[in-house]
Structure 1
């Protein structure tokens, strides 16, 4: 199984567990004289089995990520940490540029109102945000390529 397939299976299991949670919650109590639409105990057993499969899959994904060498990006774990930080950096720079440009403010209605002055260099912030976005896209492409290239650890 390729790493990308394991990641898809993990997402599917997580969705299934959340659906089971909702079904268990909906059937945990019922009115006297009525029958629940599903057996909450049987749903709990199903959820426990899925949780065990999820634990094993996450363990294997993490082991693979820790051992997978991506060259200049370090291990897959290193690359994922870098990608997370790049996403945060891009968001921070884009938000700072939007706030500094006044796009989030109301325009002046009258000349007598005080002008708002930017405390940050908007063009420079946007250029940095664009550079970070490009770096993020390139790293994400390398991560995706590795996901479809390497097999999952046993």
Structure 2
């Protein structure tokens, strides 16, 4: 099985557990004289089985990520950490540029009345947007390398 297939199975298992949890909650209590919509104990047992399978799958995915080399990015685990940080860096730069530009409903540089104080930017907006664009490019390139590795790497046993 390829790593990408295991990741898809993991996502499906997480969705299944969430569905089962919701059904357990809906069937855990019922009125006297009524019949519950579903057998909550059976649903809970099914959720336990899916969770056990999910744990084993996550362990294999993590072992695979730790062993697959991605060139200068290190292992796949290293690349995933870098991707997470690039996403946060991009969001931070974009938010800073938006705030400095006066975006987000806080008004721009101008003023409506002469008696209002003029709002000035404390940060270089154009430079921040340039940096955000470079980070976004790096993020896209890294994500392509990660996706390629996901489809090429076999899942560790």
Q: Normalising TM by the smaller chain, what interval?
A: over 0.9
Q: Following superposition of structure 1 onto structure 2, how do residues 97-136 of structure 1 map, counting pairs within 5 Å?
A: 97-104=97-104, 105-107=106-108, 108-136=111-139
Partner-residue secondary structure (3-state), 2:34: coil
Shift of 1:110: 1.3
Q: Following superposition of structure 1 onto structure 2, how do residues 4-153 of structure 1 map, counting pairs within 5 Å?
A: 4-104=4-104, 105-107=106-108, 108-153=111-156
Deviating above 6 A after TM superposition, structure 1's stretches of 4 or more consecutive aligned residues are none
Shift of 1:111: 2.4
Stretches of structure 2 that go unaligned for 5 or more consecutive residues are none
Shift of 1:103: 1.6
Shift of 1:19: 0.4
TM-score under structure 2 length normalisation: 0.96
RMSD: 0.7
Shift of 1:28: 0.3
Stretches of structure 1 that go unaligned for 5 or more consecutive residues are none
TM-score under structure 1 length normalisation: 0.98
Q: C-alpha distance in 2, partners of 1:63/1:100?
A: 43
